[in-house]
Amino acid sequence: MISSKSLVVIILQLIQALLAAAITIYIARLLGAENYGKYIYMITATSLLPLFIGLGGEHVFIMEASRDMNLLPVFFSNAVFIRSVLTAVALVVAIITCFAFRVNDSWPFMLVLAGSLLAVFPNPLFLSLYRVKGIHIRPWVLLFITPLFFIGYLFLYRNMIDLSVVSTGFFFSQFIVFVLFIIDTRRIVEFKVDFKFLKMNVRKGIIFSVSQAFDFAFARLDIFMLQFLLGPFSVGIYAAGQRVVSLLQLIPSSFHIVELPEFHRISHDKQRLEARFRSLRKLLMELAMLCFGLLIINASYIVTVLFSDLYTDTVHIVILLAVSSAIVFVNYPYYMLAEAVNKIKQRMYVRIATFILTILFIYVMVQLLGTTGAAIGLITGQFLFMLFLHRLTKSENGGLLAIVKDFKFLPVFAILAIMSWSVKLVVSSSLTGALLSSFLFLVTVTIFEITINKGDIFKLVKTLKEQINSNSHDEGISGTE
């Protein structure tokens, strides 16, 4: 059974995402359109470098330390050392560049850059240590300090707000949490750099970094292509739908946080690895069908409530991106399986090939169908990537027969969704129709899961309370650790 700690992480990530959204709206109101645009551009421009400046050290640490806990201090320390050195170099280069070229708003830019570089120390670097140690609540509690401090700071200085004030708050909100994580991690691991392993860290880490770079670009490929082919209006229509769907991506990413170390720990046991992979794949597909089924049923109502009449076409985008995201749910276990069986480089090649092919898919479909074509092209690319990953790990994933057996419930979910959606056709009120169709879908899925499918969703929910209680004891919420 997949650990229900993942549900706790999902809830904590969801709360953080809502806080981040509230802060974004608050800053937009305080700064005004022009300065807010400058701030968002700074955040966007400085967000890419921190992701790769660690050369994948945290990924190497998770892989190696999960398999041999004796190596934990060395690989974690090496990862911290690499990121610290390259962060210092990046800051020096940025300072020299700003002074040499007299960059506008250089002081706010430097504060945002420094804050962005510090932000990736707690997550993902320090968080990787907690993941390997099996501590999944305490680090997320610490991470809450960032948005809470920032929103309190903004409220305190609301009457004298400008770009410099907001940038300063952003920097200090990241700096405080960085210091707290340094103090807390010192209680868990002894810092011990080993230059003998450092070269291996960098060599393996670069592969992770390149793969991550293409993952990052792939996730934004549809937006880039639409901007290039159709312009900002189409991007706005599409991005609105993407925003509705994107919050649900916290679900598979939370399972990834909890489960990846476990995949590495059992990588030597093919039977256990296959069983865990299939269990997680089935669970995530069931969750995807439940969540995106509700979203598709209510897509029209959600778009009408959230956006203006200009966004009518966003309904189709939400439905298509829900399908694409359901495939992403299934892809996550394949990511973990490929890493666990040391097919990291092959996975990178698959991602690069799929990236290139998806550019072609989106280009052709946009020419034929306009904005919705981008979503269809993305679905094609995601599905192709899943097929490549399945073939790459075919000796460990149970093969085609396992997919047929594990996903035999999909037609039933589809029928229940269509049946529930049809209720809206005989109800005049859109709100009443949305509530009734959602209720019918949840009830029929629950009956199906409990009586026929015996699915993992409700097994997971049933053990959540017990798992939270054990986490509270084991992870030292009371301060005993």
pLDDT over 60 at 37, yes or no: yes
Token pair listed for 348: 């990178």
Average pLDDT, rounded, for the chain: 82
Average of per-residue pLDDT across 92-118:
84
More confident residue, 307 or 228: 228
The predicted pLDDT at position 478 comes to 35
**Cα–Cα distance for residue pair 303/42, rounded to 1 Å:** 29
Average of per-residue pLDDT across 162-181:
91
More confident residue, 306 or 73: 73
The predicted pLDDT at position 460 comes to 54
pTM of the model: 0.73
pLDDT over 50 at 477, yes or no: no
The answer to whether 123 and 463 are in contact (CB under 8 A) is no
More confident residue, 195 or 413: 413
**Cα–Cα distance for residue pair 63/264, rounded to 1 Å:** 6
First to last CA, the chain: 26
DSSP character for 310? G
The predicted pLDDT at position 473 comes to 46
Average of per-residue pLDDT across 96-112:
81
pLDDT over 50 at 479, yes or no: no
The predicted pLDDT at position 454 comes to 60
DSSP state letters, 260-283: HHHHHHTTT-HHHHHHHHHHHHHH
**Cα–Cα distance for residue pair 61/72, rounded to 1 Å:** 7
